[in-house]
Amino acid sequence: MIDYSVALRGAFFDIAAVADSADDIASHARYLDDGVLFLRDGRIHALLPWQEAEQYLHPLTGYRDLRGKLLLPGFVDAHVHYPQTEMIGAFGEQLLEWLTTYTFPVERQFADADYAAGIARFFVSQLLSHGTTTALVFCTLHPESVDALFSEALRLNMRLLAGKVMMDRHAPEYLSESAEQSYRQTRELIQRWHQRGRLGYAITPRFAPTSTPALLAAVQQLREEFPDTWLHTHLSENLNEIAWVKNLWPEHEHYLDVYHHYQLTGPRSVFAHAIHLADAEWQCLHDTGSAVAFCPTSNLFLGSGLFRLPTCWHQQVRMGIGSDVGAGTTFSMLRTLGEAYKVSQLQSYRLRASEAFYHATLGGAHALRLDDHIGNFHPGKEADFVVIDPAVTPLQRLRSERCKDIYEQLFVLMTLGDERNISETWVNGERVWGNAAEE
C-alpha cells in the first residue's frame, strides 16, 4: 500500500526535466490520460497510471475523481506588481509617463497597513483563481506593503518571493527615501520574513534610474549579508529608459553593466523585460547565471518592444514568464502564453505549446532557482498544482473535440483559454481555490 492522505484521478501533463533547448522539451514531456496523483504531507508522493495505481488505493480513503480535467503543475509568475492591481488597464502612456501618471499615485496608498492588507488579500486570491501558485512580486516602498503580502501568503503556506521597492531619486517626495533608510528597512524585512514558511525575500531596487550609487551600494551590501535572498529589478524595457540610464550612468558600457558593477547579477537575480539588450548584456546574463522575465502582455500594452525568445535560448539564459500586472493586462497565465505566442510569431518564431507550458511551470521555477521544490509532479516536490477544465465554453468544446493530441489541446488552451478554465488550485497539498459552480 502507498501511504497517502489524498489521491486524485485525472489526466496529467508536466515536463520531467529542465531543458537545454526548445527542441529538448518535448522529449521531457509526460502525459498520462488516466493517472492517479498521491499526496502526503503537502508533497507529491507518486504519480502513477491508473492500471498501476488502482492496487494501492485504500478501500476507505479511495480517490477524488477528476476525470475530464487536466492537472498541471501550478503556474509560476516570474514578475508581477501587487500594488498595481487596482490600476490595471490604465490608458495611453508608455513606461516613464505611465509611472508618473498612474503608478506612483496608486503606490502612495500602501503606507496604510489596512489598505495594503485588503489589496494583498485580493491580489493573492487573483493569483490562485488564475492557477498561479508561485510568484515573484514587487511591493511598494512601504514596509507595510511587504508585511501585508507575506502575511497573506504565509496564511496559505504559499511559495512566494517578494520585497520592498527601494528608490532614492527621480520619484515623488512621498515615495522617496534615503539609501540608509532603504537599507535599514529592507534588512529588517529580510530578518522578519526570509525563509519563513515557504517565503523568500527579494531585494528590490525599482530600476537604475531611481537608484543613486549609494542605494545600489546598499543593495550590494544586503546581498553580501544575505546571499540566499533574491534580487529583483527591471532591465531594458523601454528605449527612452535605456537612454536615461546612459545619461545617468555614462561611465558604464550598457544598462546591465550598472547592476553588474554592484555585483547584483548572479544566481537568484531576476531582471524583468530585457527586451533591448546588446550581445554583451546577454553574455553577462549567461556568464553570471542570472535570469530574465518575459512579460508579453505588458510589453505590448506599453508599446515597449518584442522580447527575443530565440536569443534567450541561444544564449542559454534562464527565463520565466511574467504577467507584470498592472502594465500587464491579465493574471491568467493561459492568456499570457497566448500573447507570448503572438510576440514570437511577429519574429518568425513558432512557440510550441510544450515550450510555452514549460516556461510557465518548470522553466519558471528553474529561472527562480526553485526547480528543486516545484515545477512538475516528481515525488518529493511540493504539491502545488492546478486543475483545468479544458472546455468551459461552447467554442472551446467544439474545438477541443477536434484536438488530435495533448499538444493541440494545450495550444487551444493557451489561445482560447483564460481564468474560466481554472477549476481548482492546490497549494502545499491543500485545495485553496475552487470554482464555485463545481462545489
Strand partners, 38: 7, 46
What gap in Å lies between CA 161 and CA 144, rounded to an integer?
A: 16
Same fold: 6-74+376-434 with 75-368: no
What gap in Å lies between CA 27 and CA 90, rounded to an integer?
A: 42
pLDDT of 48 reads 98
Report residue 92's pLDDT band, with 50, 70 and 90 as the boundaries.
confident
- Mean per-residue pLDDT for 153-176? 97
**What are the residue ranges spanned by the domains of the chain?**
6-74+376-434, 75-368
- Mean per-residue pLDDT for 175-194? 98
Q: How do residues 270-302 score in pLDDT, each as one tens digit?
A: 999 999 999 999 999 999 999 999 999 999 999
- Mean per-residue pLDDT for 374-393? 98
Q: According to the CATH classification, is domain 6-74+376-434 in 2.30.40.10?
A: yes
Does residue 416 have a pLDDT over 60? Answer: yes
Does residue 437 have a pLDDT over 50? Answer: no
Instruction: Dig out the grid coordinates for 321 from the structure.
Output: 514568464
Query: How many whole angstroms from its chain centre is CA 434?
Result: 21
What is the Cα gyration radius of the chain?
Answer: 21
Domain 75-368 superfamily per CATH: Metal-dependent hydrolases (3.20.20.140)
pLDDT of 62 reads 85
- What count of Cα atoms within 13 Å lies in the side-chain half-sphere of residue 33? 4
Q: How do residues 2-36 score in pLDDT, each as one tens digit?
A: 889 999 999 999 999 999 999 999 999 999 999 99
Q: Which residues contact 117 (CB under 8 A, 6 or more apart)?
A: 148, 151, 152
The reported pTM is 0.97
Does residue 45 have a pLDDT over 70? Answer: yes
Q: Which region, left, alpha or beta, applies to residue 196 given φ > 0 means left and ψ of -120 to 50 means alpha?
A: beta
pLDDT of 60 reads 80
With beta carbons less than 8 A apart as the criterion, state whether 167 and 211 touch. Answer: yes
- What count of Cα atoms within 13 Å lies in the side-chain half-sphere of residue 51? 2
- Mean per-residue pLDDT for 342-365? 98
For the chain, what's the residue count? Answer: 439
Report residue 96: phi and psi, to 5°: -65, -40
- State how far the alpha carbon of 437 is from the alpha carbons of 180, 278, 333, in Å: 51, 50, 21
Instruction: Dig out the grid coordinates for 274 from the structure.
Output: 530585457
What gap in Å lies between CA 17 and CA 358, rounded to an integer?
A: 10
pLDDT of 435 reads 75
What gap in Å lies between CA 104 and CA 101, rounded to an integer?
A: 7
